[in-house]
Structure 1
Amino acid sequence: MATASCLQSEDQFLCPICLDVLIDPVTTPCGHNFCKNCITKHWDTSDKCQCPMCNEMFDKKPEMRINTFISEMVAQFRRSAQQKASSSEQQVFKPGEVPCDVCTETKLKALKSCLVCLTSYCETHLEPHLTASSLKRHQLIDPVENLEDRMCPKHDKPLELFCKTDQTCVCMLCHVSDHKMHDVVPLKEAYEGKKAELGKTEAEIQQMIEKKQQRIRKVQRNVNFSEKCAEEEIEIGVTVFTTLMQYVERSMDFLINTIEEKQKTIKKQAEDVIKELEQDISELKRKSTEWKRLCSVSCSEDHLRLLQSFSSLKVAPPTKDWTEVSIPPSSYEGIVVTVAVQLEKTFSEDMKKLLEAELKRIQSYAVEVTLDADTAHPELILSDDGKQESRVSLLANFTLRFKLKKRPNGL
């Protein structure tokens, strides 16, 4: 009925020309209402001046003035329609809300639930519980679903009490019969106790969460610190071993060059001796040829010629005594050991400098010992007991342990 009344009222305020709610309503002499703009345009485009509703003819175009009474009624109708639309939109049942059990067509949102009637009511259907004296005594609560679960299945009475002994909700008859000697309290008191217990449990859970989050932050800090240390140690290790390889390469080049230079010297000495010996051999061969020729003259028994030829020959030049001249095989023993010892000395000195620089950098991390992980230096790893731990670098370990053993003589 209310909907029909609303539609009927709306029909009364519709313009017959545009079929919309009247705007600046005017009334013709025959008593029909139109939008001022609609009727003016209609008469401007028509040859005859007549009413579009009853076709009554007018001798001249009537002077149209806005009907203030109709205008106020239209404005009131618009406001009422907007309020109803807004109210209906706010009260319509939505998923997750409790619907009104009385509404039949469009389910509206319930505002209260009655524990006596076991019914949930919207604003309209709740009115009798707020006005009727017999219904005012009913217990109203915030809207809930499944009201039957709030009734005692044994006595069909509201569950108004809580038995602490059995940890269950009971009705008044249950308290008198089955739970007479038990510790029974009102639901509100039990609710407050459970709420406090839940709050305490929630606080404990939050504390446990916070501790675990702190542990996660600590582990993450250690991981980040470990990554940084790994990068630093890799960089230091590359520097150390690159330096070591450079030293080894230079020492190996020095060793090879030393041996090769010594071998070149020995070879040059031998070549000089061989050249001088070859010259002596050539001279001796020439003398030998002369002596052979003289021997051939002596064989002819020509005494004069032999004496003349013999006197023309010079005495053989004295030759060098080569018994004391020798080129003994060169000995390279000790060269490798000497180069290795020098390599160790040079490397140790440079590594000592690097180590001192690294230890100074580590000492710069030092802070007072603290049990608070959040205030500790970010580049210090905290042990499980909360104490700070300093780290020993790869450079320190490497330099302290690196000892190049000397080779025994003769190897």
Structure 2
Amino acid sequence: MALEDELSCPVCTELFRDPVLLSCGHSFCRQCINAHWTSSSSRNCPVCRQVSPQEPVSNLSLRNTCEAFLREKNKKEQKDGEHECLIHGEKIELFCQTDEEAICATCKEHEHRWHKTQKLQQAVRQRRGKLKTALRSAEKSLVSFKKGTARDPKISRYIQFQAQHTERKIRVEFGTLHQFLRKEEESRIAALNEEEKEKRGKMERIIQGGILSLSDRVKELEEGIEDDDVTFLQNYHGIMDRTDYTLPDQELSSETLIDVPKHLGNLKYQVWEKMKDICSYYPVILNPNAAPPDISVSDDLTSVTSCVHQQDEPNPLHLHRNRMVLGSVGYADGVHAWDIEVGDSHHWSLGVCFGLEGKPTTQPLTPENSFWGLRRDGDSYELMTAGMSRLNTSLHPVVVRVKLVYCYEYLQDTMQLKRWRKVSFSDASSDSLIAEFARVPLEKKLFPFVIPEDQAVPLRFVPANVTLTVEQKTSLLERNRVSFLFVCFISFMFILVILLGKSDRQGR
């Protein structure tokens, strides 16, 4: 860099271009010194400030030196751009197709002797061509996304439709709750007003009775005062005793007042408990995003119906050809059961699956494809297997119960404990088993699914019975009474054995 600094113009600080020499001995680019003199009032040197009356002359020697320096610099840059083998220090000119590695000629003779190789430039051209092809495909996709494909506006419009429809249903549901709370508030305030009216009426009757009694006593006393002198004096003390009469207190108690605890005690809990009648709990909630256009899902997401006409705003996503609707939640472990009211429908399918993510939309619904289901076709029932196993049953359930249970099995040949899941289908009214799948794998969550096939006949999930319980606080002794009695019994037997052992030794 020191040589390059010496070959740089003091004005532009770059390598000399058409250098000229002034009378003072300093050199500059011809364009730089002319520009300096044009902007200055004198023809002085920018370095030493000495005036140069003569025109500057070309510095041929300096120009040749700068050109030679540039040639050497370019050669060095070209050489630096070449990669050398880290093992042999030679230029890398080959590409090993076997190891996918750039190599030199010596590498080919030794480490890669029997490998398939090609020239480095040929390998680069081939791979750049493949990359350009892939890049064109990505660019087409990018253009499609920027312009918006035919489906994108449909999805955006459907999302807006979903948001508006869901908002309306939320307002309706909360309107129902608000109406219930308003009616409950009015009912409880009416009960309070009725009790107030009753208690006030009772108090007024007591007061009126006391007033009448006291009025009679006052009248009697006034008559006693008007007696003749002798009679008055004889009855004086009795008259004075009767003046101490007041209203009777024995009829007044806490029951005379408003029963405030009855109206305010656990008020919110009592209202919440009463809301069970309008707030049903469903063990399975359907996912409308997985419902095809000709399947109608109820507003509360608990029933499905096959319909003739498509929905006003159909789902734009690709869905399974079997027209199934999945539950919104999958189950990984534990025991789960739900009831599906099929009514008088003679054509339906229901069961569980691993979900539809990544699955072909045309695959059959069999255990091999992670579907375990029961199908009714007229008066016959079939397990949804590859051969559609026909079931020999006389049951025609109105409500089908699907139960998912964890099972454990000890395999003696391998001395291992295996875990499985079992899916069973039964008549909910009689709890009679229709069919079951054993050894359902554990690796994924199981999602309920239903397929309505009779038009206008819904498949409806039945709400579960919910029981509210209040935890009773008990003492430590009461909670562990059995354990305490057992410990006492063991201690008593231990002491008894010791005493019997002592008595035996003393007898001997």
TM range (shorter): 0.3 to 0.5
* Higher radius of gyration, 1 or 2: 1
- Give me the TM-score of the superposition, normalised by structure 2: 0.27
Structure with more helix by fraction: 1
- Structure with the larger RCO, 1 or 2 (CA within 8 Å, 6+ apart): 2
Structure with more strand by fraction: 2
